[in-house]
Chains A and B, each alone.
Chain A
Amino acid sequence: MGLAAAASFLPRAVLAAGNAPTDEALTPFKDITSYNNFYEFGTDKSDPAKNAHTLRVRPWSVLVDGECRKPGNFDVDRLIKDFPPQERIYRLRCVEGWSMVIPWNGFPLGALLKKVEPTAKAKFVAFTTLLDPEQMPGQKGGALPWPYVEGLRLDEALHPLTILATGLYGKPMPKQDGAPIRLVVPWKYGFKSIKSIVHIKLVASQPPTSWNLQIPEEYGFYSNVNPTVDHPRWSQAKERRIGELFKRSTLMFNGYAEQVASLYKGMDLKLHY
């Protein structure tokens, strides 16, 4: 095992707005950038790394509008200047049963939402990915309805853990990981962390989400990581941490229960899967 490989197993603190440091190894950059679910570029895990080069990430802006007083079209470089990236080391748990630990660079989504001043009507936040089959050839096929859409309840969107990420490992976001700007909601299954965002809209009612449109009985709006609520076809009790041989037990809310459990007090999480 080379020195570089050995170094990747050194524990780093998993910090997240008050989370106690744990000693879980960071997933190597090579793995984060070569094992991706980004169906806009093909459905194999190795497809996005091969195919995402056709994505043009500059110029890029994010339209933020809907139920708010100061909507705007925000250039991504402007956002990076106005909201200097912080390092956020988060677990990412895919609904398929694998997981990583990723050192994102980003800023709280709440900061951008506060800037546009949501009105009292705003109850949810809807997100949309770029729609351009020329740049994203996977959108020519029917793997999912396009463009990819996602949504959060307003309190989830304003939560300190929720970030818009523009990089990882101190480098600009690689295209296959959702450049130039993507959402990261670490206590939910990975498909909720929508990539390559062009539109964020404050809305009054629960917005549609792509995997729920595709297979409604398997993928719900909330999709909180929950080892006690199985996927209809497979168990969610365990996960394969990339780099490890044996499976780990999956943690409630992906290990962020202390920070987010209060958002779901009194909710039946089997019903609201």
Chain B
Amino acid sequence: MKEAALFFACLIPFLRLIWLGTHAGLGVNPVEFVTHATGDWALNFFCVTLAITPLVRLTGWSWWAKRRRMLGLFVFFYAALHFLIFMSLDLEFAFADLGKEIARRPYICVGFASLVMLFVLAATSSDRAIRALGRWWGRLHKLVYPAAILGVVHYYMLVKSDTTMPLRYGVVMALLLGTRLVFLLKAKIG
């Protein structure tokens, strides 16, 4: 029951965009609004997902550990939407142009790399994949760290001059990843 509620909560940003879209609420540049919103939510879900390990370590609330897969898949959901908007309304599905843009624009290359990693993570998120990959699953899923970092770098590289938002995400990511370092060091020393 609580799972269903959390699932619905994760869908709210998407549903809100649909509602705004049908009520002329996407503003003067709707494509820009939706592109930014889906990108922001991918980063938000990255932060939430990466916060679970520290949260569970500090509180013992194991229920959240079991929700990590769902939250991680929502990172992929919003990132995929973000890419789909770009592919359809910027590139008009010209895949040859995608190749050119990836080659010429570092921020697109970095973003695409993050998306590819998320795809791999999503594709290997099933119970079957976990069983099939065995101890390789844990190693493969460390890809979430570079995927998250590249997401923030992508944002930083594309803003015109106001780096406030990407830097904020960067600080939060650094803190979340930093706690893991602390745990690692404690385990080694203690």
* Residue ranges of A at the interface with B (Cβ–Cβ < 8 Å): 31, 34-35, 43, 45-46, 96, 98, 143-144, 214-215, 230, 233-235, 240, 242, 245-247
Contacts and interface: CB of A to CB of B under 8 A. Distances in A.
Contacts of B106: 233
B31 interface: yes
Interface stretch (B116-124, B136-144, B154-162): B154-162
B29 interface: yes
A214 B161 contact: yes
A235 B103 CA distance: 12
A87 B28 CA distance: 24
B107 interface: yes
25 contacts: A31-B28, A35-B29, A43-B162, A45-B27, A46-B27, A143-B161, A144-B161, A214-B161, A230-B104, A233-B105, A233-B106, A233-B107, A233-B157, A233-B158, A234-B105, A234-B107, A234-B158, A235-B104, A240-B29, A240-B31, A240-B32, A242-B28, A242-B29, A245-B89, A247-B92
A59 B90 CA distance: 45
A235 B104 CA distance: 9
Interface in B142-176: 157-158, 160-162, 164
B3 interface: no
A105 B86 CA distance: 36
A247 B161 contact: no
Contacts of A247: 89-90, 92
- Interface of A: prevailing SS: loop
Contact of B28 (A45, A143, A245): A45
8 smallest beta-carbon distances between A and B, as pairs: A35-B28, A43-B162, A31-B28, A242-B28, A34-B28, A214-B161, A98-B29, A143-B162
Nearest to B92: A246
B89 A246 contact: yes
Contacts of A31: 28
Nearest to A100: B28
Contacts of A45: 27-29
A233 B157 CA distance: 8
A233 B31 CA distance: 19
B161 A35 contact: no
A245 B31 CA distance: 7
Nearest to B91: A247
B88 to A, nearest CB: 9
Contacts of B157: 233
B34 to A, nearest CB: 11
Given A35-B28, A45-B28, 10 more contacts: A34-B28, A43-B162, A43-B164, A45-B27, A46-B27, A143-B162, A230-B104, A234-B105, A242-B28, A247-B92
Contacts of B158: 233-234
A112 B70 CA distance: 65
A235 B158 CA distance: 12
A174 to B, nearest CB: 14
Contacts of B31: 240, 245
Contacts of B28: 31, 34-35, 45, 242
Contacts of A214: 161
